[in-house]
Amino acid sequence: MKLQVSNTNVPVWRDITVKSDLPSKLKSLEEIAKNLWWVWNSEAKAVFHDLDVELWRATGENPVMLLQQLSSERLEEVIADKKMMERIEHVYSMFKEYMAKPMRDDLPSVAYFSMEYGLCNALKIYSVVGHLKNHRTARLLHNLLDGELVEVLGLIICNLLAIHAECLREVAVTIKEADSCHGHA
């Protein structure tokens, strides 16, 4: 006679992802971390670095991972550190000021970028080319990818191109002025 064996004692393994919730006083860091603005802002990078130097390196200088892996003890230390909180508030105010600036209308609204050049160490290189035609496309990406590090990618790329174009214009003007001062035409 055969007895049917119950499967109730067989473990069922599932992958779970645990996401820590930052204290409200540090929520601004999460907002900055999920925006590529920190990549070219040295003060923002320094804040993330100084939260935990070893963990910053261990996470590949990825602020999203850093914030997820900070211990609750370290988070409490940061909140209790008046100077660090002032730095965080200062960086966040710079971030908000930058994000509040309107897009420039005098530049084309098409950005061509190639990720094989990379933006920062935290973003893996996948050798793909994307076209962001306007802010609506960036919103679509945000919705499709649930906002992880692409929240304002279109705006950032367009702003980078605008900054680059402005720098080139300034260099050209400076060269032209220097040439005219030295008698070159």
80-127 pLDDT per residue, tens: 999 999 999 999 999 999 999 887 778 766 655 555 455 566 555 544
- Predicted confidence at residue 172, as pLDDT, reads 55
pLDDT of residue 75 exceeding 50, the answer is yes
Give Cα 124 distance to the centre of its chain: 13
pLDDT band at residue 1 using 50, 70 and 90 as cut-offs: low
- Predicted confidence at residue 126, as pLDDT, reads 47
- Summarize pLDDT for 127-146 with one digit per residue, the tens: 433 444 444 555 555 555 54
Report which secondary-structure segment, H or E, holds 121: none
Nearest-angstrom CA–CA distance, 24 and 122: 25
Nearest-angstrom CA–CA distance, 162 and 35: 18
Strands 129-132, 111-114: pairing is antiparallel
Which value, to the nearest 10 degrees, does the dihedral of the CA atoms of residues 102, 115, 45, 170 take? -50
φ and ψ of 132, to 5 deg: -110, 105
User: pTM of the prediction?
Assistant: 0.56
Q: Which residue has the higher pLDDT, 113 or 65?
A: 65
Cα separation values, 128 from 3, 14, 111, 125, 156, Å:
57, 32, 14, 8, 17
> Percentage of the chain with pLDDT > 90?
39
